[in-house]
Structures are given as C-alpha cells and as structure tokens.
Structure 1
Amino acid sequence: MERVIRAMQDNLGEPITIDDMARTAMFSKFHFSRMFQRVTGISPGRFLSALRLQEAKRLLLTSSLTVADISHLVGYNSIGTFSSRFRMSVGVSPTTYRQFGGLVAPLDEHLRPGRHGHGEHSVVRGHVHHAADSRPGHILMGLFPDRIAQGMPVRHITLAEAGAFTLSDVPAGKWYLIARSVGAGFDTHEAGEVYVSALGPIAVADGKPLRSVDMWLRPRLIFDPPALLAQLDETMLVTGARAPDRAEETALPGA
C-alpha cells in the first residue's frame, strides 16, 4: 500500500487507474481495492483525488502558476471540474483559497449552535491526549460524514492545547470524529509535524447521552488521508498561519 501511495504522489498529473494501482501493489484488482480500503479507510480513487487536491492547495500558496496550470499539473483536464471539486472538498474556490493565503474561514462565519433544525440534539465530549515527547499546537476537531476531513464539518471546535472538549448540539446520524494539529512552534522556515487522530463511526441519536471518548494524537502516516478543508492542515505550514487563540465551537448550515 505504501508503494502505491508513493506512486500516486509521484504521478499526480498522470492518469492513474485502479488497474495501474493493483499492478504496482502486485495484487489482483479486487484484493487491492479491499486491502487499500482496510488500510486507509477510503477507496483508492478517493485517496488519489485527495492527494491531487492537497497538491493543488500547496501550489496555490507556493507558486504563481495560474489555476488552469495547476489543475493540469494535478491531473484534471477540465478547469471547471477541478474548480468544482476543489470548492466541494475545500469549502472555497481555488482563487479565494489563494487570495486568503490558505487561511479562509468557512468554519467561523456561520450560525451558532441551536439556531436551526428541530429536536433535542446530543453532545459529544471527551479528552484529547498526546505522547509526552510530542508537541502538538492548536487542535482542530470536527465531525464529518466519513473518514476524510473535507467540506464542512457538522460541528467543530478549536482547542489551544490537548485536554477536555465538548461538541454540543450534534444532530442525529453517524459521524467520524477527526482531530488534526500542527506541531507547536512552527514557522515559515521550519515545518512542524502534523498530528492526527480519528474515531468512528459514532452513532448519535437525538437527546441520547453518549459515553466520553478519548482521542490520542499521533504523527500523521502516509496512509492517513490528507485533510482538505481550508483550515488547520499541512498547507498552513507554508504561510505560518495560526489558529484562533481561544476554543471556538460553531454550527454550520445544512447540518
């Protein structure tokens, strides 16, 4: 699986099929797809798409290439298709993402919890931990419909450091809780390590209490899907942007 992911990273601008990936892994196509999903949590096609969009985010922040040039470099033949997928996954258009240096605010410009929807929603609470020798910085936690952090989380919170967290007014459904952090003390000249943690699916029913959950941050591995939403992720290392200094919880439209 690692060999396949590295081949994806080295050939993002080229057409890559499931057959190509299976040959690289030296598995049958069926066995490869099943094993890849087991290791990464998502399909090979979705992982490749996430890598392409992650590279597009990097190029938007670090180069003067046009959006059209970047779309071709990451494997899209149509700038319209690229822009549509970028907006759907990241939350803003490629141009807006570049304009704001990667630190746009789809997560903090919306209605507060409890202003929409019906019924008594639930609370997800717990603790974030990390190893004694790691130094995560601000931690972004969100509830997502699946195993990849993209688009708009149904609820999120930003923590200044590891510790207790509460996500209130969580609508009924099955959600994946994903936490990400960049190493403390990073700047534009020193890339900090990315820490991740994921848990789910968490089944939430209206008004029913949930047990407290524990999230353990660990260094991101090659098998972990990139985070695509336009907030605290690897691409922010380039700009040295910082997350807010206070814990902030937000409800988003459409939840």
Structure 2
Amino acid sequence: MTYGAPAHTGFDRSSITQQQQAVRQVVETMRQNFWNPMSLNDMAEMANFSPCYFNQVFRSIVGIPPSRYLTALRIDAAKRLLIDTTLRVIDICYEVGYNSLGTFSSRFTELVGISPQGFRELADQDNWRLFQAFLQAQQRALPSIFHSHKQIAMGSVYAHQAAQTPVAIKTQRPATPTLIGLYPLPMPQGKPIAYTIAPASRLYMLPPVADGRYYIFATAFEWSQDPRSFLLLDWQREDLLVGMGDRPLWVRNGRYQNHIDLHLRPMQPTDPPLLSALFYFMVLAQQQLELFVQRS
C-alpha cells in the first residue's frame, strides 16, 4: 500500500498480488510514456481489466485515480526539466505532453504551489541563499515560526525498521529533520494548509487551522547545500523516506480530533511523485516572520 492509498477494501485478498502486479505494469508504462495521451481504456487494456474495475483497483493501491497519477508524472518531469535544462517554459510544456501553455502553467502552479518560472528561479544561487540561511538556522535550533505557543502536538514520527537510509530519525538529535505538511487531499500537492518540522524529540506539532478534513504527510531526506536535493525528490533516492497518516485528520470547533503517528518508509515505484514545494514554503514563511519582527 502506497503513501496515499486507503486500505484494500472490496477486493478478495487472494487477488491483491495480481492487482498490484497489474498496476505496477501500468505505472511503469506511464512513467516511460507520460508525454503521450493515455485514456482510462488504454490503461485498463494494459492491465487486462475493465475500465471501471481498473479505476477501482488503481485507486485502492495507489490512492489516486490513474488520470491524476499521469498528470503528476508530467508535472514531476517538468520540474526536472526546469532545474536541469535551459529549455523555455513553453518548450517544456510541449515536452511533457501539454498542448496549451496556459493549461500547463495553471496545473503546475496548482500542484507544486509556485509557477514554473518561479520554481526554476528557486535553484538560482542568489535565491538559494535564503535556503542556506534556513539550513544554518536548523543547525542551531528550530526557527521561531515553529515555536508558537498556539501549536498543538499531534503525534510522533517513526522510521520504518526495514529502511536502510542515512536519515537518522531515531537518534537523539536527527541529522535531517522531518518536513510535515497538512493537505486538503490525500497527496502532497500544492501549498499545504499548515506545515512544520519534527524536532529531535520526534514529536511533531501543527498550528491551528480551520475546521475540516485534512491529510498529513511527512518526508525526510539527507539535507545538503545543493538546491536540487530539496527541489527534486525522486523515489529512487536511497535517503528519501515518506509517510502519511492512516486516516484523515479532522478539525472541529478549532480543535484537532484525533492523534496520528507517522511511520516513515522508503518510497515505492507506485507512489505518486512528490510535487509540493514544501521546503520553499517553510523558508518563505520564516523569512516573512523575520521581516515582520524587524519592522515591529
């Protein structure tokens, strides 16, 4: 079961392995041909399922519909082209399978939380100084934005025992803090509703948010001075761990209703790409807070 997937319900347990193999095969084909149009019927035919049944199986295993997964692959590829090449945004738009620059830019901004050009500029050395200052602050203590007395403890963060990674989650002072975001949908896309960093105690805290149903997502990886390591998070990275709550997080009357622990594990090939520029939002929030304090 992947980080965004609900429990396997409505399916015979004896057929789950066959379903998983079929989905993995389709996902691999999608990864290799994400720029080409691919309908639900096309995907279902690859899996040898009916379209309706395939859609159900895919959502049960992956956590999102196949069409949304394909969109995520395209935007993830666009992120890499923006960082690793000098191609124009309009050329990248066509390269990843879009025919309209407006549609591409809108979808990219929606899923990443920042425009394509804005995302490219994050890797610029001048802009990266903001990130470097944030890293230096992390070496001393958590920034003040994460020390608000209004924060409410929500749960703990644990690393999967089978994870082979340099990310030291269980040490007294982790080498790499865990980034945590709260999202309206069961996958980390766009700007999170709230975000924080799990400190050395492994206890994470989130600020108050409006009433509603949310999904909490965590990621940890080895921090470096290379902007690419923060902006492009690939499932093949050995240092990358992810985790998501096993149920929605409810807020009623301004109070969190349930306690959710997060268990981190290595990403799987079928996991949806990590699109949200969460680290950028954290740095931006810290910068805005410091500017406010200076003006006060």
Class of the TM-score when normalised by the shorter of the 2 chains: 0.7 to 0.9
Q: How many residues align?
A: 226
Are 1:228 and 2:260 counterparts?
Answer: no
- Hey, what's the Cα distance between the residues in 1 that align with 2:201 and 2:155? 11
CA 1:122–1:42 in structure 2 vs 1: closer, same or farther (change >3 Å)?
A: farther
Higher helix content, 1 or 2: 2
From the two aligned structures, give the one with the greater strand fraction: 1
Which of 11, 32, 46 matches 2:33? Answer: 11
Comparing 175-184 and 32-41, the one that deviates more: 175-184
Kindly state the Cα deviation for residue 62 of structure 1 after the two structures are TM-superposed. 0.5
CA distances 1:7-53 after superposition (whole Å, capped 9, x unpaired): 11111111111111111111110110000000111111111101110
Aligned partners of 1:143, 1:62: CA distance in 2, in Å? 29
Which is bigger in relative contact order (C-alpha 8 A, separation at least 6)? Answer: 1
Equivalent pair of 2:197/2:204 in contact (CA under 8 Å): no
User: TM (normalized to structure 1)?
Assistant: 0.78
Pick aligned residue for 1:216 from 249, 252, 263: 263
Q: Percent identity?
A: 33
Q: Name the amino acid aligned to 1:152.
A: K
Taking the aligned partners of 1:160 and 1:61, their CA distance within structure 2 comes to: 30
Deviation at 1:231, TM superposition (A): 3.4
CA gap 1:18/1:169 in 2 versus in 1, 3 angstroms:
same
Would you say 1:153 and 2:192 are equivalent positions?
Answer: yes
- 1:130 corresponds in structure 2 to 159
Mapped to 2, the partners of 1:181 and 1:174 lie a distance apart of 24
Comparing 44-53 with 151-160, greater Cα deviation is found at: 151-160
Q: Which runs of 5+ in 2 are unaligned?
A: 1-22, 135-144, 168-175, 230-235, 290-296
- 8 A Cα contact 1:183 1:195, kept in partner: no
Q: Which amino acid aligns with 1:193?
A: D
* TM-score of the superposed pair, with normalisation by structure 2: 0.68
Q: Which whole-Å CA distance do the structure 2 matches of 1:66 and 1:192 have between them?
A: 31
Question: Residues 209 and 58 of structure 1: is their aligned pair in 2 closer, same or farther, counting only changes over 3 Å?
Answer: closer
Q: SS of the counterpart of 1:169? A: coil
The answer for the alignment partner of 1:29 in structure 2 is 51
- Aligned AA (2:39): T
Instruction: Indicate conservation of the 8 Å contact 1:129/1:216, yes or no.
Output: yes
SS at match of 1:96: helix
Partners of 1:196 and 1:144 in 2: how far apart?
A: 15
- How big is the shift at 1:89? 1.3
Structure 1: which 5+ residue stretches go unaligned? Answer: 114-120, 233-240, 251-255
Q: Deviations over 1:190-241 (max 9, x none)?
A: 9553211111312221244534321110001122211211234xxxxxxxx9
Q: Determine if contact 1:139/1:162 at 8 Å carries over to the other structure.
A: no
Please provide the CA RMSD for this pair: 3.2
